[in-house]
């Protein structure tokens, strides 16, 4: 009995050591790579898609009065930097928290689309797309965030480019604009039906223009809904 207890104790210690070693390896890996935040901060009365309810971030408790601080956040899930899940514009019954975590992490691929009103499937883009990656489309339109033009005049993605994304099994398309299309939102529907997630309202993509290789980490909240706010980060590899 004593030998069994001792053996179990040693097994548990080894397990702990394995976990500690793995955690150290992950932290060491992250520490040697630059991280670039591609997300807008969530603030009170931040810009929202036309027709959405205003965003409110208000302090409900104060440390000096209550002994603690607390805030209340009220918002559409499509405010700021967020990810559209398949339920958003299809008949899918998959909530965003039910999707595999692997779909939110991947090799990053940047397409330069500044000046394009319609983002076409060019040979340059086709050759640059890495299968099963996360594609970022840089239009430069993110500079208009907060202005009326941002929601009214943004570029759109062509159906041919959307089809290319589906054929290449792209995990997610990330945009520095509010939408890949306009009403009736055919591109939304096509991408989501083909398991290509859509991340909208990214910021700071210009920081990646001279980067050769990077990964994207784009986790939504673990929220049982169609879509979610997200903290989207690029991890620079070289």
Residue whose structure tokens are 């004593």: 2
The per-residue pLDDT for 22 is: 56
Using CA atoms, how far apart are residues 121 and 160, in angstroms rounded to an integer? 6
The per-residue pLDDT for 3 is: 44
CATH for the stretch 79-236: 3.50.30.50
The per-residue pLDDT for 144 is: 97
Residue whose structure tokens are 């053996």: 7
The per-residue pLDDT for 14 is: 52
The per-residue pLDDT for 7 is: 45
pLDDT means over runs of 10, the chain (238 residues): 43 52 58 88 96 96 98 97 98 98 98 98 97 98 96 97 98 98 98 98 98 98 98 96
* Helix/strand/coil for 220: strand
* Helix/strand/coil for 58: strand
Using CA atoms, how far apart are residues 230 and 202, in angstroms rounded to an integer? 10
Where in the chain are the domains?
A: 2-32, 79-236
Whole-prediction pTM: 0.86
The per-residue pLDDT for 188 is: 98
According to DSSP H, which parts of the chain are helical? 2-31, 63-66, 123-128, 148-152, 159-167, 186-193
């Amino acid at each position: 009995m004593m030998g069994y207890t001792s053996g179990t104790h040693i097994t548990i210690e080894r397990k702990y050591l394995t976990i500690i070693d793995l955690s150290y390896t992950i932290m060491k890996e992250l520490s040697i790579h630059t991280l670039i935040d591609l997300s807008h901060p969530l603030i009170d009365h931040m810009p929202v898609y036309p027709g959405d309810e205003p965003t409110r971030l208000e302090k409900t408790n104060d440390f000096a009065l209550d002994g603690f601080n607390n805030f209340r956040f009220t918002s559409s899930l499509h405010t700021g930097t967020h990810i559209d899940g398949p339920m958003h514009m299809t008949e899918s019954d998959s909530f965003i928290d039910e999707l595999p975590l692997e779909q939110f992490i991947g090799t990053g691929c940047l397409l330069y689309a500044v000046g394009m009103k319609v983002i076409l499937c060019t040979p340059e883009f086709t050759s640059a797309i890495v299968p099963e990656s996360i594609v970022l489309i840089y239009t430069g339109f993110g500079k208009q965030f907060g202005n009326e033009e941002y929601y009214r005049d943004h570029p759109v993605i062509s159906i041919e480019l959307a089809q290319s994304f589906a054929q290449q099994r792209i995990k997610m398309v990330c945009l520095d604009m509010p939408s890949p299309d306009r009403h009736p939102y055919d591109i939304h529907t096509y991408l989501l039906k083909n398991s290509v997630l859509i991340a909208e309202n990214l910021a700071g993509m210009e920081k990646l223009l001279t980067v050769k290789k990077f990964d994207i980490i784009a986790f939504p909240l673990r929220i049982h809904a169609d879509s979610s706010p997200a903290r989207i980060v690029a991890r620079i590899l070289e």
